[in-house]
Chains A and B, each alone.
Chain A
Amino acid sequence: MMTKFYAFLAAVSTLVATLVASSACWTVIYQPEEPMSLRD
Protein backbone atom coordinates (compact mmCIF):
# COMPACT_ATOMS: atom_id res chain seq x y z
CA MET A 1 0.00 0.00 0.00
CA MET A 2 2.75 2.44 1.00
CA THR A 3 4.77 1.43 -2.06
CA LYS A 4 1.86 2.35 -4.31
CA PHE A 5 1.49 5.68 -2.52
CA TYR A 6 5.22 6.36 -2.87
CA ALA A 7 5.06 5.43 -6.55
CA PHE A 8 2.18 7.87 -7.07
CA LEU A 9 4.01 10.61 -5.18
CA ALA A 10 7.21 9.95 -7.15
CA ALA A 11 5.32 10.13 -10.44
CA VAL A 12 3.59 13.40 -9.56
CA SER A 13 6.83 14.93 -8.20
CA THR A 14 8.74 13.95 -11.33
CA LEU A 15 6.05 15.49 -13.51
CA VAL A 16 6.11 18.72 -11.50
CA ALA A 17 9.92 18.78 -11.59
CA THR A 18 9.87 18.42 -15.37
CA LEU A 19 7.30 21.21 -15.73
CA VAL A 20 9.25 23.50 -13.40
CA ALA A 21 12.50 22.73 -15.22
CA SER A 22 11.05 24.15 -18.44
CA SER A 23 10.65 27.60 -16.87
CA ALA A 24 13.25 30.26 -16.04
CA CYS A 25 12.88 29.63 -12.32
CA TRP A 26 10.37 28.64 -9.69
CA THR A 27 7.19 30.66 -9.39
CA VAL A 28 8.07 31.56 -5.79
CA ILE A 29 11.20 33.53 -4.87
CA TYR A 30 13.29 30.54 -3.88
CA GLN A 31 15.36 28.37 -6.16
CA PRO A 32 17.04 25.19 -4.87
CA GLU A 33 19.71 23.52 -6.95
CA GLU A 34 18.25 21.93 -10.06
CA PRO A 35 19.21 18.27 -10.65
CA MET A 36 21.65 17.79 -13.53
CA SER A 37 19.27 15.53 -15.44
CA LEU A 38 16.70 18.36 -15.65
CA ARG A 39 19.13 20.99 -16.91
CA ASP A 40 19.31 22.07 -20.55
Chain B
Amino acid sequence: MENLVKKLAHRIAQALDYDSEKEAVVAYGLFAMILTSITFLLIGIIGIIVGTLVESLIVFLSVSILRKYSGGAHASTSERCTLIGVVFCTAAALLSRYVLFPIYDIWLMLTAVILIYLFSYWIIYKRAPVDSPNKPISDKKKIRMKKGSLIVLSVYLLLSIAGMLLGHAYPHFKAYGISLLFGVCWQILTLVVPIFKLHNK
Protein backbone atom coordinates (compact mmCIF):
# COMPACT_ATOMS: atom_id res chain seq x y z
CA MET B 1 0.00 0.00 0.00
CA GLU B 2 2.79 2.38 0.92
CA ASN B 3 4.46 1.88 -2.46
CA LEU B 4 1.24 2.62 -4.33
CA VAL B 5 0.78 5.82 -2.36
CA LYS B 6 4.38 6.84 -3.05
CA LYS B 7 3.83 6.31 -6.78
CA LEU B 8 0.69 8.47 -6.70
CA ALA B 9 2.48 11.16 -4.71
CA HIS B 10 5.34 11.09 -7.22
CA ARG B 11 2.87 11.57 -10.09
CA ILE B 12 1.29 14.50 -8.27
CA ALA B 13 4.70 16.00 -7.52
CA GLN B 14 5.75 15.73 -11.17
CA ALA B 15 2.51 17.35 -12.38
CA LEU B 16 2.81 20.21 -9.89
CA ASP B 17 6.61 20.54 -10.01
CA TYR B 18 7.08 19.81 -6.28
CA ASP B 19 10.46 19.18 -4.70
CA SER B 20 11.20 15.94 -2.84
CA GLU B 21 10.22 17.32 0.58
CA LYS B 22 6.80 18.52 -0.61
CA GLU B 23 6.33 15.17 -2.35
CA ALA B 24 7.10 13.40 0.94
CA VAL B 25 4.51 15.55 2.73
CA VAL B 26 1.86 14.77 0.09
CA ALA B 27 2.67 11.04 0.32
CA TYR B 28 2.47 11.18 4.13
CA GLY B 29 -0.93 12.88 4.11
CA LEU B 30 -2.30 10.66 1.35
CA PHE B 31 -1.21 7.55 3.18
CA ALA B 32 -2.77 8.75 6.43
CA MET B 33 -6.10 9.41 4.69
CA ILE B 34 -6.16 6.15 2.77
CA LEU B 35 -5.08 3.87 5.62
CA THR B 36 -7.45 5.43 8.14
CA SER B 37 -10.34 5.38 5.64
CA ILE B 38 -9.77 1.74 4.68
CA THR B 39 -9.55 0.66 8.31
CA PHE B 40 -12.66 2.67 9.23
CA LEU B 41 -14.64 1.30 6.25
CA LEU B 42 -13.66 -2.30 6.93
CA ILE B 43 -14.58 -1.98 10.59
CA GLY B 44 -17.88 -0.37 9.63
CA ILE B 45 -18.78 -2.93 6.98
CA ILE B 46 -17.92 -5.91 9.18
CA GLY B 47 -19.73 -4.22 12.05
CA ILE B 48 -22.89 -3.96 9.94
CA ILE B 49 -22.59 -7.62 8.87
CA VAL B 50 -22.21 -8.98 12.42
CA GLY B 51 -24.67 -6.47 13.92
CA THR B 52 -22.20 -4.55 16.11
CA LEU B 53 -21.66 -1.36 14.11
CA VAL B 54 -21.96 1.07 17.02
CA GLU B 55 -19.80 -1.04 19.35
CA SER B 56 -17.11 -1.46 16.66
CA LEU B 57 -17.00 2.25 15.96
CA ILE B 58 -16.85 3.06 19.67
CA VAL B 59 -13.81 0.80 20.06
CA PHE B 60 -12.14 2.26 16.95
CA LEU B 61 -12.81 5.89 17.82
CA SER B 62 -11.87 5.51 21.49
CA VAL B 63 -8.52 3.96 20.50
CA SER B 64 -7.89 6.51 17.73
CA ILE B 65 -8.62 9.64 19.74
CA LEU B 66 -6.58 8.57 22.76
CA ARG B 67 -3.79 7.38 20.48
CA LYS B 68 -3.54 10.83 18.91
CA TYR B 69 -2.23 12.11 22.22
CA SER B 70 -0.66 9.09 23.90
CA GLY B 71 1.10 7.45 20.96
CA GLY B 72 1.87 3.75 21.40
CA ALA B 73 3.35 0.66 19.81
CA HIS B 74 3.03 0.21 16.04
CA ALA B 75 2.70 -2.66 13.62
CA SER B 76 5.61 -3.26 11.24
CA THR B 77 3.51 -2.89 8.07
CA SER B 78 0.34 -1.00 7.15
CA GLU B 79 -1.39 -4.22 6.12
CA ARG B 80 -0.68 -5.76 9.52
CA CYS B 81 -1.93 -2.58 11.14
CA THR B 82 -5.24 -2.76 9.26
CA LEU B 83 -5.64 -6.46 10.01
CA ILE B 84 -4.94 -6.07 13.72
CA GLY B 85 -7.20 -3.02 13.96
CA VAL B 86 -10.12 -4.65 12.19
CA VAL B 87 -9.79 -7.96 14.08
CA PHE B 88 -9.50 -6.31 17.47
CA CYS B 89 -12.34 -3.82 16.98
CA THR B 90 -14.67 -6.53 15.66
CA ALA B 91 -13.73 -9.04 18.36
CA ALA B 92 -14.15 -6.46 21.11
CA ALA B 93 -17.51 -5.39 19.70
CA LEU B 94 -18.73 -8.99 19.45
CA LEU B 95 -17.61 -9.73 23.02
CA SER B 96 -19.28 -6.56 24.27
CA ARG B 97 -22.62 -7.19 22.58
CA TYR B 98 -23.05 -10.95 22.63
CA VAL B 99 -21.00 -12.21 25.59
CA LEU B 100 -20.64 -9.50 28.22
CA PHE B 101 -23.84 -7.51 27.67
CA PRO B 102 -26.14 -10.49 28.47
CA ILE B 103 -24.29 -11.11 31.76
CA TYR B 104 -23.86 -7.43 32.64
CA ASP B 105 -23.69 -6.69 36.36
CA ILE B 106 -23.47 -3.07 37.54
CA TRP B 107 -21.12 -3.89 40.45
CA LEU B 108 -18.75 -5.89 38.26
CA MET B 109 -18.79 -3.07 35.73
CA LEU B 110 -18.07 -0.50 38.44
CA THR B 111 -15.14 -2.59 39.69
CA ALA B 112 -13.81 -2.95 36.14
CA VAL B 113 -14.13 0.79 35.51
CA ILE B 114 -12.30 1.67 38.73
CA LEU B 115 -9.46 -0.80 38.18
CA ILE B 116 -9.01 -0.08 34.47
CA TYR B 117 -9.07 3.68 34.81
CA LEU B 118 -6.73 3.69 37.82
CA PHE B 119 -4.26 1.60 35.85
CA SER B 120 -4.78 3.75 32.75
CA TYR B 121 -4.11 7.02 34.57
CA TRP B 122 -0.97 5.53 36.07
CA ILE B 123 0.32 4.25 32.72
CA ILE B 124 -0.41 7.54 30.95
CA TYR B 125 1.26 9.51 33.73
CA LYS B 126 4.32 7.26 33.59
CA ARG B 127 4.65 6.56 29.87
CA ALA B 128 2.58 8.79 27.61
CA PRO B 129 3.30 9.91 24.99
CA VAL B 130 5.15 6.94 23.52
CA ASP B 131 6.88 8.05 20.35
CA SER B 132 8.65 6.06 17.65
CA PRO B 133 11.85 6.51 15.61
CA ASN B 134 9.66 7.41 12.61
CA LYS B 135 7.98 10.21 14.53
CA PRO B 136 10.06 11.53 17.42
CA ILE B 137 8.37 13.97 19.82
CA SER B 138 10.12 16.97 21.38
CA ASP B 139 10.09 17.40 25.16
CA LYS B 140 7.86 20.45 24.90
CA LYS B 141 5.34 18.55 22.79
CA LYS B 142 5.49 15.56 25.18
CA ILE B 143 4.14 17.73 28.02
CA ARG B 144 1.26 18.89 25.82
CA MET B 145 0.50 15.35 24.63
CA LYS B 146 0.55 13.98 28.18
CA LYS B 147 -1.95 16.64 29.28
CA GLY B 148 -4.09 15.86 26.24
CA SER B 149 -3.99 12.13 27.04
CA LEU B 150 -5.11 12.74 30.62
CA ILE B 151 -7.96 15.01 29.45
CA VAL B 152 -9.16 12.47 26.89
CA LEU B 153 -8.99 9.66 29.46
CA SER B 154 -11.03 11.80 31.86
CA VAL B 155 -13.67 12.36 29.18
CA TYR B 156 -13.78 8.60 28.63
CA LEU B 157 -14.20 8.08 32.39
CA LEU B 158 -17.19 10.45 32.38
CA LEU B 159 -18.64 8.60 29.38
CA SER B 160 -18.16 5.25 31.16
CA ILE B 161 -19.97 6.58 34.22
CA ALA B 162 -22.73 7.96 31.99
CA GLY B 163 -23.02 4.57 30.30
CA MET B 164 -23.46 2.86 33.66
CA LEU B 165 -26.08 5.37 34.81
CA LEU B 166 -28.01 5.35 31.54
CA GLY B 167 -27.76 1.57 31.15
CA HIS B 168 -30.81 1.07 33.29
CA ALA B 169 -33.08 3.17 31.04
CA TYR B 170 -31.32 2.39 27.76
CA PRO B 171 -29.90 -1.16 27.91
CA HIS B 172 -27.71 -0.75 24.81
CA PHE B 173 -25.59 1.79 26.68
CA LYS B 174 -24.28 -1.11 28.75
CA ALA B 175 -22.72 -2.68 25.64
CA TYR B 176 -21.41 0.72 24.53
CA GLY B 177 -19.78 1.23 27.91
CA ILE B 178 -18.10 -2.17 27.70
CA SER B 179 -16.87 -1.34 24.18
CA LEU B 180 -15.38 1.90 25.46
CA LEU B 181 -13.53 -0.02 28.16
CA PHE B 182 -12.11 -2.37 25.52
CA GLY B 183 -10.86 0.61 23.55
CA VAL B 184 -9.20 2.11 26.61
CA CYS B 185 -7.61 -1.22 27.57
CA TRP B 186 -6.21 -1.76 24.09
CA GLN B 187 -4.70 1.68 23.81
CA ILE B 188 -3.23 1.59 27.33
CA LEU B 189 -1.69 -1.81 26.69
CA THR B 190 0.01 -0.48 23.52
CA LEU B 191 1.81 1.93 25.84
CA VAL B 192 3.22 -1.04 27.72
CA VAL B 193 5.24 -2.40 24.80
CA PRO B 194 6.61 -5.75 26.09
CA ILE B 195 3.09 -7.15 26.44
CA PHE B 196 2.56 -7.00 22.69
CA LYS B 197 4.21 -8.67 19.76
CA LEU B 198 3.77 -5.47 17.73
CA HIS B 199 7.05 -4.04 16.57
CA ASN B 200 7.78 -0.62 18.03
CA LYS B 201 9.10 0.98 14.83
What is A's interface to B at a CB cutoff of 8 Å?
Answer: 2-3, 6-7, 9-10, 12-18, 20, 23-40
Contacts and interface: CB of A to CB of B under 8 A. Distances in A.
B163 interface: no
A18 to B, nearest CB: 8
B18 to A, nearest CB: 7
A36 B69 CA distance: 20
A29 B2 CA distance: 14
Given A15-B29, A28-B82, A35 B24 contact: yes
Given A13-B25, A17-B26, A29-B198, A24 B16 contact: no
Interface stretch (B31-39, B101-109, B172-180): B31-39
Contact of A25 (B72, B77, B85): B72
Interface string B4-38: 00000101100110100110111111111101100
B85 A28 contact: yes
A9 B12 contact: yes
Interface residues of B, number: 57
Interface string B70-106: 1111110110111011000000000000000000000
A6 B11 contact: yes
B24 A26 contact: no
B21 A13 contact: no
Contact of A26 (B21, B36, B70): B36
B36 A10 contact: no
Given A16-B33, A31-B134, A24 B70 contact: yes
Contacts of A20: 28-29, 32
A40 B73 contact: no
B64 A28 contact: yes
A1 to B, nearest CB: 11
B201 interface: yes
Given A13-B27, A35-B25, 11 more contacts: A13-B9, A20-B29, A24-B69, A26-B36, A27-B68, A29-B67, A29-B72, A30-B81, A32-B134, A34-B28, A35-B21
